[in-house]
Each structure stands twice: as structure tokens, then as C-alpha cells.
């Protein structure tokens, strides 16, 4: 896709003259290349099927330049002026195909009789869209195939269109359930592998969730299914400025069940709401609200003198909530963020609040120690927020974990060093992976002699948060991201 978000202009691809039936290997062409980028510009004409063209272009941007579907799609829909119906279809197809990629690829590989990495990337995008429609939507099968073939024919000519036609016809010969029976691991011998396939998650992520659920591993199917559910918008009412009740009244939303600041919105663009535009409210997952609030509720030894620190602050959602709560008592928050543009977002989000932003590495921020309360909302794999990022589950790799854990331990050690005796650090992640959660916390308790508090008491009224002392939230139980949090107090000497 071009920077303008317009679809690539097409010409016949040199490899496009060979329709591939089962056993034929020519129609897939060279893997993962975008012939469209080599073409000379032509004037932009609105496509006949704008929804599918948009979905195809976003999948291409995700594959070719590691774009985020949930950032690219909305701006592309705006630029191309898709009407509401086309926009809804484009969104469903893009996010659905991006999430289900593993399952779709297994089916496509079987139908094409070759591994997907031997299929031209541009064709694979269309095959994924077509297979998604055939297996997981109510789009009529002939329409799913014909529209996919049209997309390929318009760009690459009829040879490659023939390949796509042949593969999708084979895909359409079975239902999703029949493909799962054919291709997924046996549910009795490999229950986690089976669920990972069925709910289109990489195996290592399903294993990480099962491990984190522990004795509740029977909920694994619910967790995996929750990653495919459309998350509703959660708003936070800024404390001291507007109550959640007032915000719900103004926006037509509903009070959130757990955070006293939360309002849930089923529909609508939150960016258009007056309280959001005026900085009285913001979009924030209710789980994140609980994390910031838990830090403010944690029992200190000695008086709270109002020196608070957010050590990993960008883009600033929690720093702003902490700042608003701090402002009520005349307290102040320092916010550390090493990435310039994210630090700028913290400044913007927390404008008018007693929040001072420092562009620095949290491991050595150069700040005076002696903080009463510190939040370490650590960089993590984000496995607890997969429902918000359609392609993320396929992009993250198990090898990412070790490096993040190292950073998490260093940040937590730095925070403990910056605490005053009797002060509290709240460690949190938007990942339930135990290497990033309880293992990091146990390591800090062992190494630094901090006392682990019962964090469940800091989320009053929230049920099913685990056996303690840490708290694990889950989308399928709480409707929040799968946030983890643990409060640690520095002993007085
Ligand atoms: C999970 S996000 C924090 C989200 C934030 N608390 C909020 O609620 O908006 C983690 C942040 O840590 C930042 N980060 C990465 N490395 C860091 C480091 N060495 N020191 C401090 N922050 C770091 C990332 O840039 C990212 O903005």
C-alpha cells in the first residue's frame, strides 16, 4: 500500500500465467514480494469493491512493513471515504483474517498443496481474505471466491487469478469444523495444541495462557475465544473533574463494574465525545484503571508525603490517572519515558495535571530517591491485550520473552532503589505470561528483600483474581485486558 493508503496499481505479473492446481507450483510465484510497488503511478479510481480492496491493502501493509492493522485501517477508511456498510465489512474482514492467520494458513497450505511461504505474499493476502470469508463469515461461498479472484485478476492477470480460484474452491469444500477435524492435533492427546489451532493462536501463547491459568486451565478455550471478541470502549472519568456517574449520563454509557472511574461505551467514536475532547475523560481499559488505583490504595509504612513516580509512563494513560488522583491531595507525579514521541504523548495526556515528564531510561533515570509510591508498568509481550491488536499474536515470538524479562527485572530493581523505606512499588504487565509476572516478582522478593503485599486487597470487590498475593485479571472473567499486578513494600531498616 502506498503512503496515501491508496491501493497499489496493477499490471500483469510475470509469474501470473500459470494457474496452479493441486501439485502445480507455478501460480504461487515468488514468496512475499510486492510486484505492485514496481509500477508507475496511474490516476486513482475508486475500486468496484472498496471494502475488500481496503482489507487487502491493510493485510499487505501488515505483512510488508509490519504496520499495525488497527492504526492503518481507520485512516485508510477515512481517506477513501468508505460508507458505513463498506467500512464495517472492511473492518470485519481485515481484523478477522489477521487474527485467524494461523488457522487460515494451515487450510490454505493444504488446499494449495504447498507451504504458505512458497506462495507469493500478495496472493496469500487475498487467499487469507477469501478463506476467512469462506470459513468464518456468512458471505456466500461463490461471492467469497469470485471477489477474491477479481482482486487478483485486476492486479496480476488471469494466470494468478486461476491459482487463487483453484485454491479457494478447495478451501470451500469443507466447513471450518471439518478443516479443524482434518488438520488440528487430536484433542485427547494434545488438548492445548487442539485449542490453539481451533482458536487460531500460536501454540506457545496458548501454552503460556494455560500455564498462567494453572488449576483453572479448563478456561483456556474461553481465554482464547475472548481474544477474538470485539472489545468495547472503556472510558475513565478523571477524578476530581467529573464522576463516572456524570460521564455515563453525558455519554449514554454504562458504569464499569470494577473501577469507580470506569464507563463502558457499546457504540460510537469516543474521540467525538465532548468530555474526552475537553480532557475530562479518556479512553482507558478498566484493568489499567485498576492498576493505577491499586498503587494509590497500597498501605505505606509512615505518612504519604506525596512523591509518586511512574517509571514506564508512555503513552501516559496511567500517569494521567495517577496525576488526577495526586492532584486531589496536592501530591505530584514524576513520569519517566525513554522514547521521545511517547514522552510527548505523556505530556499531552497529562497536561494541566501535576505530572512532570522526564525523558530517561527507567533503569537510570537520574532522579532523587525517596519516592512514596512507584508504578512499574513494564514493557512486556502484550499477550494480555491481543484482542486490541489483531495481528499481534502472530508477530510476537517466544524468543522475545527472555529479553523483556531481563528489562523488567532491571526496571523493578531500579524502582526499589528509588523507593523510601516503607514505600510501595506496584509492578504490572499487560501480559499473563508467568515469566513476566510472578517470576519477575519472586526474583525481586528474593534479591531485594521487599515484602509482597496481598494485592487482592487493592482491587476491592473484584472477584476471581487468583490465589494471591498478585492479581491476575482476564478478559473472559473481567472484560478487561489480562493485566497482572503485584505490590511490593520496601522494608524499614
Ligand atoms: C506498557 S507501556 C506503559 C503504558 C503506560 N503506563 C500507560 O498506561 O499509558 C511500557 C512503556 O515503557 C517504555 N519503556 C521501554 N523501555 C523502558 C526503559 N528502559 N525505561 C523506562 N521505560 C521504558 C516503553 O517505551 C513504553 O512506553
What counts of helices (H) and strands (E) characterise the chain?
20, 12
Residue 312 assigned ligand-binding role: yes
Shared domain for 74 and 146, answered yes or no, is yes
Residue 296 CA to residue 290 CA, distance in Å, equals: 10
Shared domain for 30 and 166, answered yes or no, is yes
Shared domain for 218 and 240, answered yes or no, is no
- Asked if residue 1 is part of any domain, the answer here is no
| Structural domains of the chain, count | 4
Each residue's pLDDT expressed in tens, for the chain with a length of 493 residues:
333 333 333 333 323 333 333 333 334 444 444 444 444 555 555 567 999 999 999 999 999 999 999 999 999 999 999 999 999 999 999 999 999 999 999 999 999 999 999 999 999 999 999 999 999 999 999 999 999 999 999 999 999 999 999 999 999 999 999 999 999 999 999 999 999 999 999 999 999 999 999 999 999 999 999 998 888 999 999 999 999 999 999 999 999 999 999 999 998 889 899 999 999 999 999 999 999 999 999 999 999 999 999 999 999 999 999 999 999 999 999 999 999 999 999 999 999 999 999 999 999 999 999 999 999 999 999 999 999 999 999 999 999 999 999 999 999 999 999 999 999 999 999 999 999 999 999 999 999 999 999 999 999 999 999 999 999 999 999 999 999 999 999 999 7
Shared domain for 141 and 209, answered yes or no, is no
- Asked if residue 8 is part of any domain, the answer here is no
Shared domain for 190 and 265, answered yes or no, is no
- The interface predicted TM-score (ipTM) is 0.99
- Asked if residue 98 is part of any domain, the answer here is yes
Shared domain for 323 and 446, answered yes or no, is yes
Residue 125 CA to residue 31 CA, distance in Å, equals: 12
Shared domain for 141 and 205, answered yes or no, is no
Please give the distance, rounded to the nearest whole angstrom, from the Cα atom of residue 440 to the centre of ligand 1: 16
- Asked if residue 9 is part of any domain, the answer here is no
What's the grid cell of residue 330?
Answer: 496536592
SS3 of the chain: helix, strand, coil, percent, to 5: 50, 10, 40
Residue 363 CB less than 6 A away from ligand 1: yes
Contact call for residues 57 and 65 (beta carbons, < 8 A): no
Residue 211 CA to residue 209 CA, distance in Å, equals: 5
DSSP for 348-413 reads: HHTTTSSEEEE-S-TTS--PPS-EEEEEEE-----GGGGGG-TTHHHH--TTHHHHHHHHHHHHHH
Residue 355 CB less than 6 A away from ligand 1: no
Can you give the pTM of this predicted structure? Answer: 0.90
- The CATH number of residue 152's host domain is 1.10.940.10
Shared domain for 304 and 417, answered yes or no, is yes
Residue 419 host element (H or E): strand 419-429
Shared domain for 220 and 247, answered yes or no, is no
Shared domain for 90 and 140, answered yes or no, is yes
Decide if 380 is catalytic.
no
- The CATH number of residue 386's host domain is 3.40.50.150
Neighbours of 258 (CB within 10 A): 21
Residue 365 CB less than 6 A away from ligand 1: no
Shared domain for 212 and 337, answered yes or no, is no
Q: Which residues form the domain of 441? A: 286-489
Please give the distance, rounded to the nearest whole angstrom, from the Cα atom of residue 67 to the centre of ligand 1: 20
Place of cell 531485594: 448
- Asked if residue 159 is part of any domain, the answer here is yes
- CA distance from start to end of the chain: 60
- Asked if residue 3 is part of any domain, the answer here is no
- Asked if residue 40 is part of any domain, the answer here is yes
Adjacent-strand bridge partners of 281: 237
Shared domain for 384 and 424, answered yes or no, is yes
Amino acid at each position: 500500500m502506498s503512503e496515501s493508503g491508496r491501493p497499489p496499481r496493477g499490471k500483469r505479473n510475470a509469474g501470473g500465467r500459470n494457474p496452479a492446481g493441486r501439485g502445480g507450483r507455478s501460480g504461487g510465484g515468488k514468496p512475499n514480494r510486492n510486484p505492485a510497488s514496481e509500477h508507475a503511478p496511474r490516476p486513482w479510481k475508486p475500486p468496484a469493491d472498496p471494502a475488500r480492496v481496503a482489507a487487502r491493502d491493510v493485510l499487505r501493509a501488515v505483512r510488508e512493513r509490519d504496520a499495525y492493522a488497527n492504526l492503518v485501517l481507520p485512516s485508510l477508511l477515512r481517506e477513501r471515504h468508505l460508507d458505513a456498510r463498506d467500512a464495517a465489512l472492511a473492518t470485519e474482514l481485515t481484523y478477522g483474517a489477521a487474527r485467524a492467520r494461523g488457522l487460515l494458513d494451515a487450510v490454505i497450505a493444504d488446499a494449495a498443496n504447498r507451504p504458505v511461504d512458497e506462495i507469493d505474499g500478495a496472493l496469500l493476502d487475498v487467499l487469507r481474505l477469501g478463506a476467512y470469508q469462506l470459513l468464518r463469515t456468512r458471505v456466500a461461498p461463490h461471492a467469497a471466491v469470485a471477489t477474491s479472484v477479481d482482486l487478483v485478476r485486476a492486479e496480476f492477470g488471469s494466470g494468478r487469478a486461476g491459482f487463487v480460484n483453484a485454491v479457494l474452491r478447495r478451501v470451500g469444500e469443507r466447513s471450518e469444523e471439518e478443516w479443524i477435524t482434518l488438520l488440528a492435533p487430536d484433542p485427547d492427546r494434545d488438548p492445548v495444541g487442539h485449542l490453539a489451532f481451533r482458536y487460531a493462536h500460536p501454540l506457545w501463547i496458548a501454552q503460556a495462557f494455560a500455564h498462567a491459568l494453572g488449576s483453572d486451565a479448563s478456561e483456556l478455550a474461553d481465554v482464547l475465544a475472548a481474544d477474538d471478541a470485539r472489545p468495547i470502549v472503556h472510558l475513565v472519568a478523571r477524578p476530581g473533574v467529573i464522576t463516572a456517574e456524570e460521564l455515563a449520563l453525558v455519554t449514554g454509557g454504562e458504569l464499569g463494574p470494577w473501577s469507580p472511574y470506569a464507563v463502558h461505551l457499546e457504540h460510537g467514536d469516543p474521540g467525538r465525545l465532548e468530555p474526552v475532547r475537553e480532557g475530562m475523560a479518556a479512553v482507558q481499559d478498566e484493568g489499567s484503571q485498576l492498576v493505577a488505583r491499586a498503587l494509590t490504595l497500597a498501605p505505606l509504612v509512615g505518612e504519604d508525603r506525596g512523591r509518586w513516580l511512574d517509571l514506564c509512563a508512555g503513552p501516559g494513560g496511567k500517569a494521567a490517572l495517577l496525576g488526577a488522583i495526586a492532584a486531589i491531595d496536592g501530591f505530584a507525579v514524576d513520569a519517566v519515558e525513554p522514547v521521545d514521541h511517547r514522552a510527548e504523548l505523556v505530556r499531552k495526556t497529562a497536561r494541566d495535571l501535576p505530572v512532570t515528564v522526564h525523558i530517561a531510561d527507567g533503569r537510570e533515570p537520574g532522579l532523587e530517591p525517596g519516592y512514596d509510591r512507584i508504578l512499574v508498568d513494564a514493557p512486556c509481550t502484550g499477550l494480555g491485550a491481543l484482542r486490541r491488536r489483531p495481528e499481534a499474536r502472530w508477530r510476537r515470538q517466544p524468543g522475545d520473552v527472555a529479553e523483556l524479562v531481563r528489562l523488567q527485572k532491571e526496571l523493578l530493581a531500579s524502582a526499589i532503589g528509588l523507593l523510601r523505606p516503607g514505600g510501595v512499588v506496584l509492578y504490572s504487565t499487560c501480559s499473563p505470561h508467568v515469566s513476566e509476572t510472578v517470576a519477575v516478582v519472586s526474583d525481586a522478593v528474593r534479591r531485594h528483600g521487599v515484602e509482597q503485599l496481598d494485592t487482592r486487597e487493592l482491587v476491592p470487590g473484584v472477584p476471581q483474581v487468583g490465589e494471591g498475593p498478585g492479581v491476575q485479571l482476564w478478559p473472559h472473567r473481567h472484560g478487561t485486558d489480562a493485566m497482572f499486578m503485584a505490590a511490593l513494600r520496601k522494608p524499614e531498616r
